[in-house]
Amino acid sequence: MSIKKKIAMTVNGVSVKAEIEPRTHLVDFLREELHLKGPHLGCEQGACGACTVKVNGQIIRGCLYLAIQADGCEVETIEGLTKSGALSDLQESFMRRNAMQCGFCSSGMLLAAAELIEERPKATREEVREWISGNYCRCTGYHSIVDAIVDVLDARSKGQKIKAVVAHA
């Protein structure tokens, strides 16, 4: 018989209450209970960054963080990166630069990149590369990801936004 614990948190701006087993990891709770599939399960050891989410504004590894630790907290996943549901300029830039080939690392990479842009708006290319080094990408070789982030940094420093990609049928 397992003992369940009650938790309450805000996830992507929505109040959530649940009963969980105390050993449930945050990423498992988000994926299985809330059906938020943005955070992925990769290494389950905190090394790859695929499970990256924000708790109270701080980037954390969802596979190492228990859901019960997020009780009373504000949690943000890639699904909540933009409140309006529209793609952010960072996401647009990733699309333009083909920086999300298979997409497995994209949610964690985008959250890390968003944090970088917020905390270091004048970051150099080398600082971008170092900042995202905790997020593994097996497809891109990181060049297109770094290019996408640098494009946004450059655009924002000029007071501009990356324009939406228009799909043609």
**Considering only CA atoms, which of 110, 102, 56 is closest in space to residue 81?**
110
Tell me what the mean pLDDT of segment 73-96 comes to: 83
pLDDT at 168: 52
To the nearest whole number, what is the mean pLDDT of the chain? 90
Domains, the chain, in order of start with CATH, read 5-80 (3.10.20.30), 89-157 (1.10.150.120)
Cα–Cα dist 23/38, whole Å:
21
48 pLDDT exceeds 60?
Answer: yes
pLDDT at 31: 97
With vertex at residue 29, the alpha carbon angle to CA 25 and CA 31, rounded to the nearest 5 degrees, is 115
Indicate yes or no: pTM above 0.85: yes
Contact partners, residue 20, CB within 8 Å, separation at least 6:
4, 5, 7, 29, 33, 67, 68
pLDDT at 61: 96
Percent with pLDDT over 70 in the chain = 92
pLDDT at 139: 86
88 pLDDT exceeds 90?
Answer: no
